[in-house]
Structures are given as C-alpha cells and as structure tokens.
Chain A
C-alpha cells in the first residue's frame, strides 16, 4: 500500500518535473488586444508582443468568441495588400515578436457577436518547442475601439527609416 502510494508520488513527481522542464520556456505576452467589431462584422485581429526564453513556434490559438483562429501575415506586394495564413510564427529565444497592424496578427474568424471596447476576451495561444512539446498560455486580451490607432507607427511618425 505504502509502496504503491510511493510509486504514485514518484510518478507525480516526474510528471511535475517534466512540466517544469517545459515550463522552463517562459513565455511573456505583453499588451494583448483585439480590435473591436460592429454588428455584422465576423472577423477581426488580435495583436500583442510575445517573448520567450526558449525558441518556440506559435502554432495556433483559440478563443470562445471565435469559431476559428489563425495566425496571419500581412504583406504589401507592389502596393497591393495581401493577408495570408501562416503555419506558425517563430519566436526566437529571448527575442520579442510583435504582432501589430502592418505585420503579423492573430485572426479571429466567425466572431458571432460584436466585441465592444473595454471587454476582456480570453485568448489561448499554443506554442511548440523544438522537441515538439506543446505549451499553452491563456491571456486576457483587451478589446479596443474599432478605430484604435495603436500600432499605427506611421501615424505617430516613429516609422523605421
């Protein structure tokens, strides 16, 4: 009985140790926000800055407010704006990747009801490390007004030259 108990304890310990090893990759998500929507608008974008102590790949995301969530890249090709789904977004070790208007965003598809400014929306981000282990983190993304100009670097004149 005690032996079994001990074994369970050991097993539990190793599980904890394994999760601790995975948790070594410390993911920090700063300033997560979602652009608010109006009635009838079923898609919107989420933006944030992601940092990790270990090289990871953002492979997916989910939220109760959208049927489907994807990682998208916006690119300009000779003045034409294209948005394309990505298989994953690399987060380099100790580097910060900014998801902002004009580059990457988390795309919320099938948003059933309008998202009003001030609401908090849970957004779960799924990452994969080099060993293929999945790490998830849930953040509370703040809904900002549809006309939020945040991240519009060009408007504030601090664009890269």
Chain B
C-alpha cells in the first residue's frame, strides 16, 4: 500500500523536527568564550617548563589545556588571572584532574626558572610554568596571537601583554579564546563543554 512509505517518511520528518531545534540550541550557546575552532591559532609548544623539562602538547593529550601568558613582576592582571584559574579548578571538582593549566612567561629574562618554580605553584601546585628562550617566546606568542612588549622606562621594566588565554580540547586543538573579563564560572562551564566533547 502507498500509505506505508508515507508514514515512514513522516516518521523521519518528526525525528528531524525534534532533532533540529536541539541542534540549533546547542550551537547558539556553544561557549562562553569566543569559539575559535575554525581559526588556525596555536601550535606546538616545545619549550621548557620551570624545571627544564621540554613540554609538548602531546604531554597533555586527553586533558583540556588552559593557557595564559604573563610575567611574575606583574602586580595586578597576572596574579588575578592565576587566582581565577585556581578558582576554575575548584569549581571543576573531580574534573580538575582532567585539565592542565599552563602559564607562559613573556619576560624570560627576569623570570628565571627558580622564580617561576616559586611563583606559579603558589597559586596551585598543579600549574605548570613555561619559559622559552627569547626566540621560543616569540614563536609561541606569535602562534597564539599574543602581543607583548618589554619597555625600559625610568629605570624600571614595563611589560605590556595581551591578557587573553585559550582553552585547548583533549586533542590539543585551540578551541576557545578566553577574555580577561570572563568569570571563573564561565570558564569552568567551557571546560565542562570541552570535557563532554562538544
């Protein structure tokens, strides 16, 4: 009978009708940060951490990576950001073990490995500080679209730098750009989305 294929067809239409709004709703509110999945941002790290171990993205495969850039002589933005990253881990609870926070200095001249080893774990012992050579620092910051400038002014050093960071998914791909003005709650939600595999 001719009615059979018709009802089969309408059944599919029903499935589509339910599936589409769900799909759209998911896309409309993908991340709190800026979805940069389609952009070619980032690249291999291949820089030493504060203990001298050369770090690659593959070291963190299976974990969501949160990366920010800064310098230890910063009184304001950097400690605030690092404290916020610690708050993100607290909000994640058990899922914190599935995330790695990386913090790379843009002032490797003053940020010695010893200083970084004291400074960064003071926020959370699991945080890893990265310190490249001047060339490596240029390469990585360029790849991650981070601007920085070290200025010598009136006997002091002033470091201007981009305050944003990124979330990388479990495969090491840069997915979300995190603005400086995002809350720990918003960042934790984005980490959860990446851990769920969106």
Contacts and interface: CB of A to CB of B under 8 A. Distances in A.
B184 A155 contact: yes
A32 to B, nearest CB: 14
A80 B161 contact: yes
Nearest to B118: A38
A101 B119 contact: no
B115 A45 contact: no
A2 interface: no
Interface residues of A, number: 38
Nearest to A109: B156
Contacts of A70: 156
Contact of A146 (B79, B84, B185): B79
Interface in B82-141: 82-84, 86-87, 112, 114-115, 118-119, 122-124
Nearest to A72: B75
Interface in A92-116: 101-102, 105, 107-109
Contacts of A82: 158, 160
Contacts of A4: none
Given A81-B180, A146-B119, A44 B75 contact: yes
A109 B185 CA distance: 34
Counting from the closest, the 4 A-B pairs by CB-CB distance are: A45-B75, A40-B115, A38-B118, A149-B83
Interface of B: 72-77, 79-80, 82-84, 86-87, 112, 114-115, 118-119, 122-124, 147, 153-154, 156, 158-164, 179-185
Given A76-B180, A109-B156, 17 more contacts: A38-B115, A41-B72, A41-B115, A79-B180, A80-B160, A80-B161, A81-B161, A83-B74, A83-B75, A84-B158, A85-B153, A85-B154, A147-B86, A147-B122, A152-B83, A154-B182, A155-B87
